[in-house]
Structure 1
């Protein structure tokens, strides 16, 4: 059983300040014969959550480049969603929660503006 679209999360209320810890693991795709391939499906990172008071794990798609931020760098999740996987047991069900996001970025990182073409010509002259 899965939630159709997952649960959209209010980042600030749920996690508070997030600090980067490390890459926890890479999940690989399986080949047609069931063996593990060398193609990465997703990467899971450890983040310290002030609001949760503990470490959380967040999975990011493999299409996103590997994140290698400084330890304790303040980060933010891009479009986080919580989801579940439930497995029926004789006494009910075991439920596992997990968090996925589209990306992980440094918080308050100011993008470097590219100069306008007219300004670049003025500086060259």
Structure 2
């Protein structure tokens, strides 16, 4: 069975509280000759996930500015989708799950896909 758009996720039930950890890797576009180009296709981040009880990796498109949030900052995924990739082996296939999202934003600081926060630190209110 193939789900063309992946599996839509109930964020609260699946992830609970997510906390930013770090950039894990950048995936580059491959040139026609098989070499790796300088163009970035997507970025994958490590997020601490309390419901899953472990670190998860979430990929976002390279069109979204690089995230450099504080360690343990509470974040939210915009339009997360889970999907799989299968690789044939001598016993059948190995299946890996992955999570993609339109964006990763600071929790309660803007939750619309068009608002990526641009990684600008928030200033405390003036008294």
Q: Return the TM-score normalized by structure 2.
A: 0.83
Where is the helix percentage greater, Structure 1 or Structure 2?
1
1:24 aligns with 24
2:67 aligns with 67
Q: CA-to-partner distance for each residue in 1:4-28, whole Å, 9 max, x for gaps?
A: 2100000000000000000010000
- Structure 1 or 2, whichever has the larger Rg, is 1
Give the unaligned 5+ runs of structure 1. Answer: 112-125
Distance 1:64 1:110, change over 3 A: closer
Distance 1:3 1:109 in 2: 32
* Structure 2 residue 92 is the aligned partner of structure 1 residue 102: no
1:118 aligns with none
Alignment of 1:29-108 (within 5 A): 29-108=29-108
Distance 1:79 1:73 in 2: 19
Give the unaligned 5+ runs of structure 2. Answer: 112-127
Distance 1:2 1:42, change over 3 A: farther
1:120 aligns with none
User: 1:110: how far off?
Assistant: 6.0
Distance 1:7 1:35 in 2: 32
Greater than 2 Å deviation, 4+ residue runs: none
User: 1:32: how far off?
Assistant: 1.2
Q: Return the TM-score normalized by structure 1.
A: 0.84
Size of the aligned set, in residue pairs, is 111
2:123 aligns with none
